[in-house]
């Protein structure tokens, strides 16, 4: 009777071990997806950090999902940087276009060396 019980115990142990492996794999997958989401968010809102995640996942990653996440981080970083540069350029265009030309001409006149000397004499 002891011989009959040994295979059933071994079978139960292997099933339990496989179940634990599946649970562990599921937890690792969930944690990696959380890590990817954080990497994507940081790549989008703080573009230079996306380069870090690109290097981390592509060169030091363990699988194809890591490499894919690295490239997505790089793409989000590039897009975010381009949008930032474009929006800052548009902001500067708007602020400089509202200045009247007459005032900018007066400022240019004040910058000339002859007029600077006259201003210095007036302030003395």
Tens of pLDDT, residues 90-101: 988 887 766 565
Q: What is the DSSP letter of 99?
A: S
The torsion angles phi and psi of 99, rounded to 5 degrees, stand at -70, 135
pTM of the predicted protein model? 0.55
- pLDDT tens for 43-85 read 999 888 889 989 988 888 887 888 898 999 999 999 999 999 9
Instruction: Give the Å distances, CA to CA, from 114 to 47, 77, 124.
Output: 47, 49, 16
Name the token pair of 37: 């989401």
Number of structural domains (the chain) is: 1
Domain extent at residue 18 = 2-123
């Amino acid at each position: 009777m002891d011989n009959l019980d040994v295979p059933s115990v071994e079978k139960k142990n292997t099933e339990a071990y496989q179940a634990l492996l599946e649970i562990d794999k599921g937890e690792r997958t969930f944690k990696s997806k959380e890590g990817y989401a954080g990497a994507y968010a940081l790549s989008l809102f703080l573009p230079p950090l996306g380069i870090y995640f690109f290097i981390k996942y592509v060169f030091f990653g363990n699988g194809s999902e890591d490499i894919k996440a690295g490239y997505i981080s790089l793409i989000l970083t590039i897009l975010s940087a381009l949008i930032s540069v474009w929006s800052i350029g548009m902001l500067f265009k708007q602020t400089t276009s509202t200045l009247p030309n007459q005032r900018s001409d007066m400022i240019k006149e004040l910058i000339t060396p002859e007029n600077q000397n006259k201003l210095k004499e007036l302030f003395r």
